[in-house]
Homo-oligomer: A and B are copies of this chain.
Amino acid sequence: MTATTPAGNGLPYRVPLDGLPDSVRIYEVGPRDGLQNESAVIPVEVKAEFIRRLAAAGLTVIEATSFVHPKWVPQLADADELLDRLGPMPGVRLPVLVPNERGLERALRRGVTEIAIFGSATETFARRNLNRDIAGSLEMFAPVVARAREAGLRVRGYLSMCFGDPWEGQVPIGRVVEVGARLLELGCDELSLGDTIGVGTPGHVTALIAAFGAAGIGPERLAVHFHDTYGQALANTLAALRAGVRTVDASAGGIGGCPYAKSATGNLATEDLVWMLHGLGIETGVSLESLVATSVWLAERLGRPSPSRVVQALARRLNEQEGSQG
C-alpha cells in the first residue's frame, strides 16, 4: 500500500470555528524549558542553531535560556555564550528566565530586552523549587521586576502548579488567582498559567480564567502553559482560546517539561498546537514543515524521537515517501 500525503500537501484543512480569534501568539519554550531537562550536554552551537531554525520557521517569541546559577541547572550554564553567539535577531523576541537580582544583572549585561520570572501557586513547590515560601518568593521577585521595568524590559510571570500539585493535590482556584494577581501587581506584563503536571481538564481551565476575570484580570494579560502528561493539553488550549486567551506556550517537538521522568511526555508540542490552530484557520506565522524539520533535526542530536504526534506522523510519512521513491 502506497501511503501518500494524508491531507494533500501534508497540512491540516482550514475549517474555522465561531468564537475563536484570527491569530494566536505562540510563546516557544523549547530552548529553555525543553533543553534544561536534558541529561546529555547539548553543545552551545546546537542550541544557537535550534533557535535560529525556530525563528526561520516563523516563531517570533523564543525563550532562549535561563540566568539561573549553573549549580542548579548546569544544562544552561552557557547562557552568556549562547546569547553572544545569537546576537540580535530582528523581529524575534528572545526572553530569558531570571530567578533573582544576580540573574537580572547578567541579563542586563547581555542586552536582554525581556525576562521571565518563575513563581509557584503552591507553598510546597515554592519551597522545593525556590527554597522559600510564596511570600518570600514574591519578596525576592519584587526588586527584580522593579529594576527590569526601570530598564525598559518586558517581564513575564510564570505561575506553576495552577491545576494540581504533586505534593499538595488539588490547588484551590482562589489561591491561584491570589498569587497570580500579586505577580501582576509587582509589574509583570503577562502571566503564564502553568499546568506543570498536566492534570487539568477544559472545565478547570475555563473556571480559572473566569476567576481571573472576576478579579479584574482579563484574558489579554494571560497566557497558558499546558503539559501533555495526560493528553489534555490541546483540549485545554481550545478551552483557553474560547475564554479569550491569545498567547499559548509550547515546546518544539514536545521536548522537556517533565522533571519526574526523563523520557516522559511534558510540554505541549508546538507542532501539535500549530496543526490545531491552522486547522481552525487561526494565523500563527509559523511554517509547520520547517518546524517539523527542525524537531526532526533536534531529535537526531538528542538521540531519541520527538514525542510530538505531528512530528511522528509527518516524519513517518516522509520516510514512506522516500521508501516508495527508492
Contacts and interface: CB of A to CB of B under 8 A. Distances in A.
A62 to B, nearest CB: 22
This chain: copies in complex: 2
A166 B231 contact: no
6 contacts: A12-B201, A13-B201, A231-B272, A232-B275, A235-B237, A238-B238
Contacts of A128: 1
Contacts of A200: 13, 279
B239 A239 contact: no
Nearest to A275: B230
Interface of A: 1, 3-8, 12-17, 20, 128, 163-167, 169-170, 197-204, 206-207, 228-232, 234-235, 237-239, 259-261, 264-265, 269, 272, 275-276, 279-281, 308-310, 312-313, 316, 320
Contacts of A4: 166-167
A8 B3 CA distance: 44
A210 B232 CA distance: 25
B232 A279 contact: yes
A126 to B, nearest CB: 15
Q: Which 10 A-B pairs have the closest CB atoms?
A: A201-B279, A231-B309, A17-B203, A8-B169, A231-B272, A15-B204, A15-B203, A234-B235, A6-B197, A235-B235
A262 to B, nearest CB: 10
B7 A170 contact: yes
B232 A202 contact: no
A7 to B, nearest CB: 5
Given A230-B272, A232-B276, A7 B199 contact: yes
A230 B169 contact: no
A235 B12 CA distance: 14
A12 B203 CA distance: 11
Given A15-B204, A164-B13, A199-B13, A316 B7 contact: no
Contacts of A5: 166, 169
A231 B12 contact: no
A22 to B, nearest CB: 13
Contacts of A312: 264-265
B238 A309 contact: no
Contacts of A310: 230-231
A165 B6 CA distance: 6
A87 B101 CA distance: 70
Given A229-B313, A234-B235, 9 more contacts: A1-B128, A6-B164, A6-B199, A17-B203, A201-B276, A201-B279, A201-B280, A230-B275, A230-B313
